[in-house]
Amino acid sequence: MSWFLPYPLLSAALLALWLLLNQSVSPGHLVLGSVLAVLASWAMAALRPEKPRIRRPGAALRLAGMVLIDILRSNLAVGRIIVRSREPGVNAGFLTIPLDLRDRQGLAVLSVIITSTPGTIWVSYDAAKGTLLLHVLDLIDETVWVRTIKDRYERRLMEIFE
Amino acid sequence: MSPLAILGWAIISAQVMLGLAMCCATYRLVAGPRAQDRILGLDTLYVNAMLMLVTFGIRTGSTLYFEAALVIGLLGFVSTVALAKFLMRGEVIE
Amino acid sequence: MNAAGTLPAWAALLTALFVLIGAAVTLIGSLGLLRLGTFYKRVHAPTLGTTLGMVSILAGSVLCFSVLEARPVVHEILIAVFVTLTTPVTLMLLVRAALYRDRTEGSTDVPAAEVAEDLIPPA
């Protein structure tokens, strides 16, 4: 089975993409999409990427829900800063956070979470020292931000990926 | 006012707002002051144009605008990445 | 509104609400491009349009077409997934390019590179 479908999640995602693009679940599209998905996963196997291991799918779902709520809340917060504040972004600043997360997929997910949340952006990561440089729009209390990133996201990502 | 008329007005006002948003992005694109500000303006302009196309789709009831929005999104991503890469190294393909 | 003539009242009102919220959030985000003072502050502004603004307008589109065609029309999810995955990539690349440029010019507004290797941009 593993030689036939080296990346089952990737193949499933590609098939879903094909069906959504064509807006149909007719047998013809199912067959064509499946063939393309399998061929693409073989091409991917030739590149030999690291295989991500998701240990706890339940925790991943909970994290996704939490991130959605956080994105909604920070949308409102950043919107308020832009509209109401007389001098918007006066508290902005850079912030360095030491990370314990080492897994590359986990770091990639963390970077997407942090950057797509309005108000925080991932600037750079030092792999040797394991420190992360962030830019935060509303940096009033540094320890609050460090605790938010480490307790809310990093701990859960370590549960999922490590 | 019937609900459909309200929807029509809502879509027109949404398009006006998105148009203003595109103006803000264009101002950043033209005024700069630095190259990274201009690229940020261009990226925002692409996203706003994509959303504008989606509202056109709702207004006309045609799903054809969806493909156009998808293509604009793709082009915006590729061009912004290429420009950011250019800022970093002075060349796009090495 | 020629094509949407058969839309029931609740769907029309809900679509109107979604589209208005999305457009307003996107406008506030783009307004941030004007109001915020430096590049690093401005980079936060477009994420409003690419998260809540986009999702809200796409939700309106999904609702409108699903009710109109009496079947689930969900291909807007593709745009949502695509934008969610690509925006962080472009913003991170842009910020790193800006940081690199500021560092090579010796700007004091950005944290200095701790080792010389940080000044060499990643391949």
- Contacts for A137 with CB less than 8 Å, ≥ 6 apart: A78, A81, A89, A91, A92, A118, A119, A120, C41, C44
**C-beta separation of B62 from C3 below 8 A:** yes
pLDDT over 70 (residue C82): yes
Residue type, A52: P
How far apart are alpha carbons B82 and B62 in whole angstroms? Answer: 32
Whether C54 contacts chain B with CB within 8 A: yes
CATH number of the domain bearing residue B44: 1.10.287
What pLDDT score was predicted for residue C1? 47
- Nearest CA to A95 out of A41, A48, A47, A150 is that of A150
Contact B87 C61 (CB under 8 A): no
What pLDDT score was predicted for residue B79? 92
Q: Give the whole-number percent of chain A exceeding pLDDT 90.
A: 2
Between residues C109 and A9, the one the model is more confident about: A9
Q: How far is CA C33 from CA A73, A106, A156, B17, C29, in A?
A: 20, 31, 33, 15, 7
Chain A closest CA to C96's CA: distance in Å? Answer: 6
Average pLDDT over residues C47-73: 88
Within a domain: residue B16? yes
For C96, the closest chain B residue by CA position comes to B88
Within a domain: residue B94? no
Whether A105 contacts chain C with CB within 8 A: no
- Nearest CA to A67 out of A123, A139, A137, A117 is that of A117
pLDDT one-digit tens code per residue, A38-69: 888 888 888 777 777 777 778 888 888 999 99
Least confident of A4-8, A35-39, B61-65, C85-89: A4-8
According to DSSP, residue A48 is labeled -
Residue type, A49: P
Size of chain B in residues: 94
- Nearest CA to A121 out of C66, C47, B13 is that of C47
- Contacts for C117 with CB less than 8 Å, ≥ 6 apart: none
Nearest residue, CB atoms, C88 vs list A78, A115, A126 = A115
Whether C74 contacts chain B with CB within 8 A: no
**C-beta separation of C18 from B18 below 8 A:** no
Number of domains in chain B: 1
**Domain that residue B52 falls in:** 3-89
Within a domain: residue B32? yes
Contact C121 B88 (CB under 8 A): yes
Whether A47 contacts chain C with CB within 8 A: no
